[in-house]
Structures are given as structure tokens and as C-alpha cells.
Amino acid sequence: MSADDSKMDSGGHARRWPWTRFLLPVYVFVIMLYTMVPIAVMIIYGFNQAPNRRLTFAWQGFTTEWYQHLFDIADLTSALVTSIEVAVISSIIAVILGVPAALALARRRFFGRRIMDLTIITNLTAPTVVVGASLLGFFVTISLARGIGTIIIAHVAVSVAVVIIIIQARLASMDESLEEAAQDLGASPWIAFWKVTGPLISPAIFSAFMLSFALSIDDYIITSFVNGQTLTFPLWVAGAVKVGIPPQVFVLGTLIFVVGVVIAAATLVLQSRSNRKLKAEMAPADDWHV
Amino acid sequence: MGRNFKKKVTPLLLTAPANFWLWAFFTIPLISILWLSLTTGNTLDGFTLTWNFGIYPDAVSQYSEQFGRSFLYGGISTALALIFMYPVAYWIAFRGGKYKAIFLFLLLLPFLVSFIIRILTWQFILADNGIVLSALKDIGLVSQNAHVLSTPFAVIAGLTYDNLPWMALPVYVALDGIKRDQIEAASDLYASGYQRFRTVILPLSAPGIYAGILLVGISSVGDFLSAQILGGPSTTMIGNIIQTQYVQNQNYPLASALSLVLMVALLAFVVLYGRFFGSKTLKEFAG
Amino acid sequence: MDPKRPENETAWMRGLTQPRLSRRQLVHGAAGFAVLTALGPALAACGVGGTKGTGSAEDVDWTAWWQEQNATKNLSFANWPLYIDTGGGGKHPSLEKFTKESGINVSYKPVIRDNAEVLLQDQPGPPAGDPIGYDIIVMSNGWELGQLIANRWLTPLDHSQLPNFKKYAGEVATRLAYDEDLEYSAVWQAGVTGIAYDPKLTGGEIDSVEALFDPKFKGKVGMLSDNDEVGSLGLLALGIDPATSTYDDWKKSAAKMKEQRDKGIVRQYYDNSYVKALQNGDVALTQAYSGDIFQSNNSGYPDLKFVVPKEGAMLWRDNSVIPLHAKNPVSALKWIDFYYKPENQAMIEDWINYISPVPDAQAIIRDELDDPTVADSPLVFPPQSMMDQLREYPLNYTPETQKQWAGLFDPIIQS
């Protein structure tokens, strides 16, 4: 990093605040450390011995026992599987519903647009406890049995707004002329979408999907209202908090974390490759600073 | 079929599925709790619509303390998240160089840990004989009886940490989107770095701050899990009350009224806030 | 797993999956679902239908009704998870024995879980005559059960078909304040809410509820977050018998409990997490459920103590009840009678370890099952001296009294 710093310093901007040179990096380092502490706790305590099969604060010695007995608690495993199912399905539905809506909202004026905008903003600003409570009342009113289905419905209701916002923002920052050009050349709007718009917004679709996935797999509050008999990972863990958490919770948390890191890192590498290609073509001076 | 007609109908068709979902599973349920809040009764005899508007002043006065506390804790944790994350996002955006993406990735790592586990680890860290306190007690810095759990401090710590990535992301996106030439121009105009920051960078990153504050503030104010797991006898937030009234006491009118008051208070905040920062910015951060 | 001490493992699993308090809360939640279900038709009529009178069976001559019922070969049994003896491969020896003896096939569903929705979601079903799908469900005493009884949503038991109950049921099962004539409830298990403490932290024995109000333990006292428990404790501390207490008494209790909180004595109002707080030393003493401490003693915390204070402790019960329109009511009665037989009860009790409704099972567990730890535990088979110390909950079951009660104690717990 120091090499990188000096390289940037050589950029020649003399008027730098003194504090940015030293204080800022230290501050950033400390905050970064702070964000890592709970992650470290989770990973390390997954290796702690636990004679009662519950996590304890005291370090009792290193063991990989919990990794060997990872799926011993059948309820916990199935709760995790349910969580993943819910997250995948609800994110897919949210994307399928959200992308066309975002296209219309970004590109067209139409009847009901303002109301839809308002609905989306209200949705984004509604506290989850209110969303969960009102949905519960509604599901009961229409006699819909609570279970994995209602969890998915509820998660989609929240993440579809997020998807729309993200895609719409991406579309707003894009030039419409490309699509128009394609259409002028005789392509149908459908073809224009597949050939031009689609590829351009695919990173946004990906991040929208990932964000809905993250929102869904993490949700406790809404799910706790509409789950019926179905338990998701957060619900199971919250229930176990009352009497002590089995180490498997931290181990599974660690594994989810590792998988997440791998996926994200792979995405990063792919992105930086394509960026490098782009840079090679356009050769911009990129390492400027304040 | 006329092109004009098509132009009018296509957007309606495109938005129809999403609209349906939002209305059926968000708007209508929300409206129905307005109605429910105006009923009176009990679970045995039923609830009848009596247009009992009096429940609103009652609910607010009875739980003013919890409302106040929710906004206080939410406000503090939002402010802390901003104070923690803005400089970091700033540094990554402007000084991250070619490792920008990696730093951002590191910053967003907590996203990959389940929300509930994040709270649990803080319960671990802050426990009476947990890592921090037992060390401090050993060296005699705090009294043997000192505790952090069950205090407002623990709740605010939990809320703050939970929301860090949601603050970092929009702020970073806004800062990263500032064009180089805008800053160069500012550099020519202003002598000091502070002036440049205040007159150019801060205003240009305002949309990100706005979005971050909304995301973090709303979820903190409505949260009940942090108070439930990390809090004590006098840290109850309005989310806890709503949950108890709904699920345990089945006082639906009261629970609905409290939900709506919370919702309206937050919306008012959003609208007022939007007046100053522009309501479109909420959408802009995501780009 | 340690094969030598399976009881610890099961106790732990049980503690993990079905803490006592959450059970209580769940049933609370369940009643809510039932009521919410009434919302549907009510939306149209601009009022939420009540549950009173819906599908109730006031005019049925139950004696005649029972005579008309034929024995069937099925039984559908909804219970809390891990609330019955469980052997290898997830089998339940007592249920197998029951099937062998009676020829009745049991569909056992430990579904009453994070909320008892399955059980009650179509509770307003009875008006249409729809059975809810179970012949037996296990419910805690509380205002939810009170409401089910008030609604007459349950089938009265035919005691002429329960000879073992008559012969072996102990005091725990026969003196029910919430169902004085034992019309609907056959106790499945019971338990005590008393005080648990860590002698190392309290520096001595505790024998009085006054300790929970002692400024010496400021910030080290745990209380339960259940308003029934908090309010009842205040009554005990004031020397008032909760069972006969009035609204005026409740107000005095609320004042006392508020003072306890305002003085900073209460560290926290805990759900079942009080066990962990006690184990970790976050609290020195706390309100506690007997079964939890019995489990803790057997799983690494032998020093923790549970005491029935001299002012008394609260006795709670989980009851087997037969829902209205159950398809196999005769089978349900047979099962109830089966588990009241001491040898059968012993099989179940040796695994569950709460308070048994059948005192005669004690000798069988000690001698035949060779498990003196359970048999001689006063928390499983309380001696008469302890029974005399146990108190019944206040009669706060009607919507009106429930509102008064919650209105007094909820603001203390959630402030």
C-alpha cells in the first residue's frame, strides 16, 4: 500500500490537507478493523471447544469438531436450506417483475406513473416492522396459510422496489439514443432490449439480484410475522439465542461468509479484467486524487 | 394497431406485474391497518369499526418515551455510521487507486455475515465476562460490576454496526461518481483543501449521504432485534412495542395505530428531508 | 454425542428447541392468529368478528354425544417438539406401546413450534364443523386456554372413560383453577416458576423473593419478560395469594415491580435467555423455570440452585385438550388414560423431566428404569412440603381482566 501511496503522491497536487496524509489512512485502518471484529469473533469461536455444545465466551481450546458435525442439528440445516431457497426464488421473482417496470419507468410517461413512484418510495421508507405486521393481517384476512410461500411473497414485496430503483437508476444514467438507433435501424423494441439495453444493464441486474438476495437471507423482522411454521436461518438462531447458541451457527455463518467472499472475489477479478481491457482501449489517466 | 396506442399500453403492461405485487402485498395491507386501528373491541367479542380516532393521541402519549427513544437511538446510530463510513468511503474513492474495488469489498464484508449473527457477536464481545470487559476488569480500568449489555450503549452499538454497509455503499457510490474535472476546477478556485471539500465534494456527495441516512435511519428506528438481544429494562424501542402488541397482546387497534404513527413520522421526515436534498437522489445512489 | 449420558443431550436439545417461555408466548401468538382469521368476513361488515360463540357447542348433551362416538383406529396428536420420550431413530416408545396395546395408529406431529399457528389458524373452523385436524393438542394454562374454554371450542372430557386418570392423577392434575371441574384439561406436564441463583455471586443461600428486591444485587437481578410471571411475583412478595387476587392487588403489585425496576435492581427482563445470563454470570439471581435449572445442573452448571421461596412459587401446567369436532375423540381419551398409567408415565417422564402429573411413576423410574437422578429430583416429583408452597396464577383470563393485567405489567417490562 505504501508503494501505491507514493505513486499517487507523485501526482503533483501540492495542496493536500495535512490530515489526509496521515490521519485519514489511520482512521480508515481503525474503522476497517472495527468492521472486521465481529467477523473474526464468528470465525474464531467456531473453533472453540464447547463441552455443553453451546458457545461460551471463554476460550476452551481449539477443535474442528463443529466442522465435522456441521449438519448434526437437522432443524438448523433445514432452516438454512429454507433461507437459501427463499432468497433465490424471491430474488428471481423480484428481478422478473422489477426489470420491465424499471424500463417503463425510466423511458416512458404513462398513466399511473406518479402513483407507482410514490408507492416505491413509500415501500423503501416503510419500516420492516410495519410491513411485516400489515402483511400478517392481510394474509390472515385472505386465509392464506403462512409458510414458505408467504415468506417469499413478503420478501418479493420488499425487494421488487429495490430492484426497480437500481435498474431505473442505471437506465437513467444511460444514453437512450443507442436503443433508438437500434430501433431506427428496424429492430423491434424486443430485439433492441436483448441486443442493446439488456447487456448494458446486466451489471445492474446482477447487483439488484445480489442485493435482494442479501436482503432476503438476512431478514428477520418481516419473516417473523409471516413465517407460520416455517423457520429460516435467522429465525432459528434467534430462537436459539434464548438458551445458548450451538457452535454450528457460527460455523455455518463462517461457511456462508466464505462462499460470499469467493463469489464476490471472482466477480471482482472478472470485472477488473474487463476494466483493464477497457482501459487499454481508452487509456484514461485514472489515478488522480484530491 | 396504432403506434400511439402501443406506446400507451406497453408501459402499462410492463409495469402491471410489479404494480400488482406492490398493491396486493404492500399498499392494500398498509391501508387495511389504518382501518384496523380505528376499531375497538377485544379478541373474544370481536373488533368493530367505531372510528376511534382517539386511539392516536392515546397511543402517542402512552408510548411517547419509546417513540422518542427510537428516534434518538436511530439518530445517534445513523450519525455514527456516517461519521465512521464517510471518511472511509472518501479515502477509498479518492485514494484507493487501483485497489479501490478490493477496499470497497473489504468494507462491505459484514454484508456477508447474517444480520442475526452480527448482533450475536456483539453480545459476545460486550458480555460482562466477554473479551472486552473481562480484559478491562483485569487491568482494573472498570469496576467488577460494570456492564455494557442491557444498556443503551449496547443497543446503539448494535444498531450502528448493523447498518454500516448500508451507509458505506451509497456514500461511496456518490463520492466515486464525482468527476475529476469538477475537483480540478475547484482546486484552481480554492486555496485550501477544506474549502474544496466543503464547496465541491460535500455537496456533490450529498445524494449519497441522503440515501445512506434514509436507509440506515429508517431501519434503525424501526428495529427491535438489537434492543431485544442487547438491551435492558429501559431500552425498549417502538418496534418492540408494536411486536408485543401485535403478537402477544393481540391489541390490533393499538398495534396498528403505533405502526401507522411510526410510518407517518418517518415519511414526514423523508419528505422534509427531501425538500432540502431533493427526493430524486434516493434513486441516484443506486446507479 | 456421549452415549453414557443421553439425558443430558436430550435435555439440551429440548432446552434449545422449546424453551418454556417461548411456548407460553407462542400460544399467545396462536390465539392471535385465530382472531385475525376472523378478520376476513369482518372486513366486509366493517367489524372484526369476535370468537365468542363461533362454533361453540353450548347446547350439546355431551353424555349422549360420547355414547354415540365409536372407537376408531387413528389418533392425530399435536405436541411441542421434543416433549415426549424419544429413542433411537426418532421413535417414541410410549406411542409404540400405545399402538401395540390399543391397535390405534398415532400420527404424532410435534408441530407446535415457533408459533402454534397450525393448531389455531382455522380455529374459527368449528362453526362450519371443520375439524382442525388434530384429536389432541397440548396447551399451556393462560388466557389463551381460558379463551378456548370460554368459547367452548374444546370437547369436554368423558371422565367415565378415564379410569387411570381417576386413580393415578396427582394433585398437580386435579386442582386446576382455570378448569375447576376438569371439564376440558388433562395435564400433560407441569412446572414451577421460582428463583434460580448462583451461590458464588449471591454469597449465600436465597430463600425469599425479597432477595429479588434487595439493593445489594442492584443490576444483577433477572426477571422474566412474561407479564404473568412479573405480576405474580409482585403478589407473592406482598403476601397476596395470586389465585384470589383482585384488580386492586394487581395495582399494588405493579407499584412494587415498578419500584424494583426504577431502582435499577433489574438487569433485564429475559425470555428464556435468563438461563444463559445466569450461566454467564450476567445475573446473580433470577426468576426461573424449574426444568431449565434441572437441565443446567446436568449439563455443566452443577452449582446453580433453584429454590421455591418461602413466600411461594407459581405452578404452571401444559394440558392435553381435545379440540371441538376432533375426528377420533375416543382414541384421544384412550391416549390420555394410557399416559396416566404409572408405568407408561414413567417412560415419558424419565425423558421429559418436568413435573409429572402421576406421582406413582416415581417409584417405577427409580426402581425399574434405574434413574434415581430424575426420580429423586424434587423438581420432577415435588414432595408435599413443596407442593404446599406452590401457587396458582391469578384469574386474568377474560379479555377484560387480561387487558387490565397487561395494562399494568407490560409498561414495566417494556419501558
ipTM for this prediction: 0.83
Best mutation site among B19, B20, B22, B269 for testing chain A: the one with the most A CBs within 10 Å?
Answer: B22
Tell me the mean pLDDT in the region C14-35. 37
The CA distance from C138 to C142, in Å, is 12
Query: What does the H/E/C string look like for chain C?
Result: CCCCCHHHHHHHHHHHHCCHHHHHHHHHHHHHHHHHHCHHHHHHHCEEECCCCCCCCCCCCHHHHHHHCCCCCEEEEECCCCCCCCCHHHCCHHHHHHHHHHCCEEEEECCCCCCCHHHHCCCCCHHHCCCCCCCEEEEECCHHHHHHHHHCCECCCCHHHCHHHHHHCCHHHHCCCCCCCCCCCEEEEEEEEEEEECHHHHCCCCCCHHHHHCHHHCCCEEEECCHHHHHHHHHHHCCCCHHHCCHHHHHHHHHHHHHHHHCCCEEEEECCCHHHHHHHCCCCEEEEEHHHHHHHHCCCCCCCEEECCCCCEEEEEEEEECECCCCCHHHHHHHHHHHCCHHHHHHHHHHHCCECCCCCHHHHHHHHCCCHHHHCCCCCCCCHHHHCCEECCCCCCCHHHHHHHHHHHHHHHCC
Shared-domain flag, residues A238 and A166: yes
What are the start and end residues of each CATH 3.40.190.10 domain in chain C? 10-191+316-381, 192-314+396-413
> What percentage of residues in chain C have a pLDDT greater than 70?
79
Residue A95 resides in a domain: yes
Residue B3 resides in a domain: no
Q: Which residues from chain B sit within 8 angstroms of residue C269, using beta carbons?
A: 233
Residue A269 resides in a domain: no
Query: A156-160, B47-51, B240-244: which has the minimum mean pLDDT?
Result: B47-51
Residue A120 resides in a domain: yes
Residue B51 resides in a domain: no
Q: Is A58 on the interface with C (CB under 8 A)?
A: no
Judged by CB atoms closer than 8 Å, whether chains meet at A242 and C276 is answered as: yes
Give the closest residue to C24 by CA, choosing from C374, C251, C317, C366. C317
Tell me the mean pLDDT in the region C388-407. 87
Chain B with chain C: Cβ pairs closer than 8 A: 108
The boundaries of the domain holding residue B199 are 62-284
Q: Which CATH superfamily is domain C192-314+396-413 in?
A: Periplasmic binding protein-like II (3.40.190.10)
Half-sphere exposure of C56 (CA within 13 A, CB side): 14
Q: How many domains does chain A have?
A: 2
* Residue range A199-221, pLDDT digits in tens: 888 888 888 898 899 889 989 98
What is the structure's pLDDT at C365? 93
On whether the CB atoms of residues C391 and C175 are closer than 8 A, the answer is no
Shared-domain flag, residues A59 and A139: no
Whichever domain contains B110, its CATH number is 1.10.3720.10
Pairing of strands C313-321, C390-391: parallel
Beta partners for residue C105, in sequence order: C74
Query: B123-127, C257-261, C382-386: which has the minimum mean pLDDT?
Result: B123-127
Judged by CB atoms closer than 8 Å, whether chains meet at C147 and B43 is answered as: yes
Residue B147 resides in a domain: yes
Q: Is A104 on the interface with B (CB under 8 A)?
A: yes
What is the structure's pLDDT at A139? 80
Residue A31 resides in a domain: yes
What is the structure's pLDDT at B87? 93
Q: Which residues from chain B sit within 8 angstroms of residue C398, using beta carbons?
A: 44
Chain A with chain B: Cβ pairs closer than 8 A: 302
The CA distance from C24 to C226, in Å, is 8
Residue A285 resides in a domain: no
What is the structure's pLDDT at A32? 92
Only one residue has cell 441486474, namely: A205
Beta partners for residue C71, in sequence order: none
Residue A24 resides in a domain: yes
Q: Please state, rounded to an integer, the average pLDDT across all residues of chain B.
A: 85
Query: A118-127, C12-21, C231-240: which has the minimum mean pLDDT?
Result: C12-21
Judged by CB atoms closer than 8 Å, whether chains meet at A135 and B94 is answered as: no
What is the structure's pLDDT at C199? 95
pLDDT above 60 (res A86) = yes
Give the closest residue to C219 by CA, choosing from A248, B145, B90, B206. B145
What is the structure's pLDDT at B65? 93
What is the structure's pLDDT at C41? 35
Shared-domain flag, residues A42 and A172: no
Neighbours of A266 (CB within 10 A): 10
Tell me the mean pLDDT in the region A267-283. 67
pLDDT above 80 (res C301) = yes
Tell me the mean pLDDT in the region A179-196. 75
Q: Is C29 on the interface with B (CB under 8 A)?
A: yes
* Residue range B82-109, pLDDT digits in tens: 999 999 999 998 888 888 888 888 888 8
Q: Which B residues in the span 127-146 are in contact with A, Cβ-Cβ below 8 Å?
A: 127, 129-131, 134
Beta partners for residue B47, in sequence order: B41, C48
Q: How many domains does chain B have?
A: 1
Fold of the domain spanning C10-191+316-381: D-Maltodextrin-Binding Protein; domain 2 (3.40.190)
DSSP characters over B190-205: -SSHHHHIIIIIHHHH
Best mutation site among A4, A6, A17, A35 for testing chain B: the one with the most B CBs within 10 Å?
Answer: A35
Q: What is the C-alpha radius of gyration for chain B, rounded to an integer number of angstroms? A: 23
On whether the CB atoms of residues A211 and B286 are closer than 8 A, the answer is no
| Cβ burial B72-105 (10 Å sphere, 16+ → b, else e) | ebbebbbebbbebbbbbbbbbbbbbbeebbebbb
Task: Please give the residue of chain B at the shortest CA–CA distance from C400.
Answer: B42
Amino acid in the structure at residue C156 = P
pLDDT above 50 (res C26) = no
Whichever domain contains A231, its CATH number is 1.10.3720.10
Task: Please give the residue of chain A at the shortest CA–CA distance from B228.
Answer: A238
What are the angstrom distances between the C-alpha of A123 and each of A10, A223, B278? 48, 16, 18
Q: Which residues from chain C sit within 8 angstroms of residue A57, using beta carbons?
A: 280
Shared-domain flag, residues A79 and A61: no
Shared-domain flag, residues A57 and A106: no
Q: Which residues from chain A sit within 8 angstroms of residue C118, using beta carbons?
A: 228-229
Shared-domain flag, residues A131 and A25: no
The CA distance from C30 to C42, in Å, is 19
Half-sphere exposure of B202 (CA within 13 A, CB side): 8
The boundaries of the domain holding residue A145 are 74-245
Pairing of strands C305-307, C186-197: antiparallel
Stated pTM of the model: 0.79
What is the structure's pLDDT at A190? 76
- CA torsion sign for A121, A124, A127, A132 is positive
Shared-domain flag, residues A105 and A229: yes
Judged by CB atoms closer than 8 Å, whether chains meet at B97 and A287 is answered as: yes
* Residue range B145-159, pLDDT digits in tens: 788 888 999 999 999
Characterise B262 by phi-psi region: left (phi > 0), alpha (psi -120 to 50), beta (else): alpha
Q: What are the two backbone dihedrals, phi and then psi, of residue C192, each rounded to the nearest 5 degrees? A: -120, 140
* Residue range B187-223, pLDDT digits in tens: 777 667 777 788 888 888 888 888 889 889 999 999 9
C13 or A119, greater pLDDT: A119
Tell me the mean pLDDT in the region C144-150. 77
